[in-house]
Chain A
Amino acid sequence: MSSDKKSESISLEALRSGDRVEFARLVETTYEMIYRLSIRMVNNPQDAEDILQETYLKAYRHLKGFDGRSSVSTWLYRIATNEALMFLRRQKPGEMSIDEPLEEGESDQPPIQIVDWCCLPEETLLSSESRAYLDEAITRLSPSLRVVFVLRDIQGLSTQETGEVLDLSETAVKTRLSRARLRLREELSGYFGKRVLEGKGM
């Protein structure tokens, strides 16, 4: 990720000593990835902007405590994912469980939708209507699956980096990612399956 590379050249020492120019450089090189994470987590521009601002306000306040054991971008991701998860918890109190059961098979449902929609043309798969559906489908994942999916498949973090951000084992990251992808596949199969049938005049 290019923003990661750029943020690597940020001087931690300067940041910790309160250097505003260096802090501005940090924000400049990372705000897009944090905004992208936020908007995929909450699917609403206003709330995503709040999360973005809160992330950097918190980061600035806690700069002195940042020990540099993880990369700056991992640290920012950690703050931003916490903000997003807290936001979701406030939005739907009680419904949110960060730690959903992870035992293999416990909530793994076998695939129900068996329609081959891969043959649909790219302009259907990537139409603006389809894109809106893709974004919305993410929000139907539980927050704990959503955050793993967004970090791995939207932000392109590795399994190890995702585990570091969320304080999860690599096995837990893989299990959640698998579950999230299979659920999204179900959602998209329901949606695109209809297009396939329409195409066949059914």
Chain B
Amino acid sequence: MDKHECCHLLGSLSEFVDGSLGEDICAEIERHLADCQNCQIVVDTLEKTVYLYHTTSQETTTPEEVRQRLFHCLEIDDFTGSPHD
């Protein structure tokens, strides 16, 4: 394993997992990954890291009381599209 090459590619891995790199650099990284198990693990766990945050980010909801207090402090409680309108 060429340690220097690993460090050299490290900064590109984030864009690599996004699939937003150019063909040449992608090919270069893939060639390296075929020979370097450690970097392959870094890529896999980096991908998984992004995936876990994507997955959990969708689940944050705003508590109803927070919404009510927000509308109240902005003095727009009367203008919401609630059923009595």
Residues of A participating in the B interface, judged by any CB pair closer than 8 Å: 20-21, 23-25, 27-28, 31-32, 35-36, 39-40, 45, 49, 52-53, 56-57, 60, 104-105, 108, 110-111, 114-118, 125-126, 130-131, 134, 149, 153-156, 174-175, 177-178, 181-182, 184-185, 188-189
Is B62's CB under 8 angstroms from A32's CB? yes
**A21 contacts across to B, CB distance below 8 A:** 79
Is B46's CB under 8 angstroms from A31's CB? no
**B41 contacts across to A, CB distance below 8 A:** 114-116
- A163 CA to B10 CA in the complex, in Å? 22
Is B66's CB under 8 angstroms from A153's CB? no
Is B52's CB under 8 angstroms from A185's CB? no
Is B73's CB under 8 angstroms from A57's CB? yes
Q: How far is the CB of B79 from chain A (nearest CB, A)?
A: 4
**A35 contacts across to B, CB distance below 8 A:** 60, 62, 66
Is B48's CB under 8 angstroms from A118's CB? yes
Residues of B participating in the A interface, judged by any CB pair closer than 8 Å: 6-7, 10-15, 38, 41-42, 44-46, 48-50, 52-57, 60-63, 66-67, 69-71, 73-74, 76, 79-81
CB-nearest residue of chain A to B44: A118
- A131 CA to B11 CA in the complex, in Å? 27
Q: Interface of chain A, helix or strand or loop or mixed?
A: helix
Contacting residue for A53 out of B11, B13, B57, B70, CB 8 A: B70
Q: Interface of chain B, helix or strand or loop or mixed?
A: helix
A53-B69 contact, Cβ under 8 Å, with A184-B49, A188-B49:
yes
Is A27's CB under 8 angstroms from B52's CB? no
**A184 contacts across to B, CB distance below 8 A:** 49, 53
Is A53's CB under 8 angstroms from B42's CB? no
**B80 contacts across to A, CB distance below 8 A:** 24, 28
**A134 contacts across to B, CB distance below 8 A:** 52-53, 56
Is A153's CB under 8 angstroms from B53's CB? yes
A126-B45 contact, Cβ under 8 Å, with A31-B62, A181-B50:
no
Q: How far is the CB of B10 from chain A (nearest CB, A)?
A: 6
**A181 contacts across to B, CB distance below 8 A:** 14, 46, 49-50
Q: How far is the CB of A138 from chain B (nearest CB, A)?
A: 8
- 5 interchain pairs, CB-CB under 8 A: A20-B79, A36-B57, A45-B63, A153-B50, A182-B46
Is B46's CB under 8 angstroms from A60's CB? no
- A153 CA to B79 CA in the complex, in Å? 33
Contacting residue for B53 out of A39, A110, A154, A178, CB 8 A: A154
Is A185's CB under 8 angstroms from B67's CB? no
**B52 contacts across to A, CB distance below 8 A:** 125-126, 130, 134, 188
Contacting residue for A110 out of B7, B44, B46, B56, CB 8 A: B7
